[in-house]
Structure 1
Amino acid sequence: MADRSNAPIIIKRKKVVSGGGHHGGAWKVAYADFVTAMMAFFLLMWLLNATTEQQRKGLADYFSPTIAVARVSGGGDGMFGGSSMMEDDTLSQNGDGEAGGIPFEGTAEGQAEAQARAAEVAILQEIEATLLGIGGESFVQQEALRHVVTRLTDEGLIIEVFARENAPLFVNDGTEPAPILIELTTMFARVFDIVTNPVAVEGHTRSAPLVVANRPVWDISTGRAETVRLLLEAGNLDPTRIARITGHGDRDLARNDALSVRNNRIEITLLRVQD
């Protein structure tokens, strides 16, 4: 028998991975992320259904603020962006001075006009807040205000009333008002009594499908504006305050989809008095 005293001794060690059957618990983290994402998704869906378009716009503006960097910008490479301080019109073009007979805000006349404009804007903002706050009076009015979005522009306070799916403003796509439009215009007329600003009414309608021949979109939009004028006057709005009624047909769409029901809308504007 051969001598095996000098043979090398081999030791084999078996590596044991603890928790391998459960993937080290990583599945728990993935599951928690999934549950959190689903909760956020359902919360978003609930908010979309429970808020008005005006409130959704306010939330969007809050999370994506836009701050102007400068009132004007020039294309020149000089200190004044291509303008010379020795030119008479430089200050007025840049919004910093007076020229062409426009009152400068540093003068008494300019300050009076600025104060009048500020007062008018404050009143229009008060009317806007009043309109949006009326919805708390009843559930019916709260549902009606889901058809309304407002915005303050250089022209005045624009109150846009739009149709929603299964909730039209006019019966059978015509000019006969639906009950929700009657309720809204009555409410508007009551709030408009706070001021004496003139009122403009504009009618808009969506495009007609190609299978519909000779759909009178112009007559419909103008007829709807006329209907709203009559409803406002029925709500005790002074007829002399109506400055104009306009029908835009399907030429000024609110949605890119020309057939979207959102394009069926009425715009009522409280016009500014101060220019």
Structure 2
Amino acid sequence: MQLILHISPRIKRAFDKRKPILAMESTVLTHGLPYPKNLDILKTLEELCQELDVEPATIIVLDGKIHIGMTEAEKEILQCKLESGEEVGKFNLRDIPYAVSRKKSGGTTVSATMLIANKAGIKVFATGGIGGVHKFWNETLDISSDLKALAEIPVIVVSAGCKAILDIPATLEVLESYSVPVLGWKTDEFPAFYARTSGKKIEKLESAKDVVNIYQTMRELYPHPTGILVANPVPEKDEIPFAEIEKYISAAIAEAKTKNIAGKELTPFLLATLAEKTKGQSVQSNLALLKNNVIIGAQIAKELQ
């Protein structure tokens, strides 16, 4: 595994000094946000994390090498690939062995980031929103491997709930079936990514200490510990109300079906379509919730350390 995991000197120093580390995924860079804004937001998120005295460990695969904590050189490599139009993939849990063996490059989804973070010994991870059960799943069986990862990998994931394009009740049912704790950060209602509420009740937490106590208790009790999902609502000033965003989502899904867009390509298409239909409001909301999740993830990482 030492040959596969390339841990940056900065992250190695953090491990040596027992400094808290927060994992971050890279699909939001490669597929979730437009270029070059994606690289600007990476810089903003990493600097925000460091201001909170926590080391950010952005995870990505470049030419078959798994990088934990991107260096400036690796960011330049990614920038060159994006500018040249080179194929940059989107790798989930299943794709990592193939990507490494075939020397591919791509962003890591929630499931892949959880896998790699756990292998490296990082226990807290901040993202935008998890994947889950897609709408009309009974026709396509389109269910994200993020749910499998949460069921099997003991990493604390801070997100703004699940992506708003998903079937939220079905996603929560699957997480309940897998015995994954779903905890609301100072809320008793599951957030819906752009919206602060979804109408689905969850357990409410008030502090990072609460999260860590539950995590440690779970690891002692469960024969096979799961992940924990900490659902952190988007800041109120950046919210797009559920009723408003839902009409755009329905239109985007209908367009995707017309164009036969499915599988890995569906989420990037829907996010890009929403950005267009909301005149960029969805992108601004996405950036705000990413920052908010880094702040809470940093608090939890410090408490866990």
Q: TM-score range by the shorter chain?
A: under 0.3
Higher helix share: 2
TM-score (norm 2): 0.24
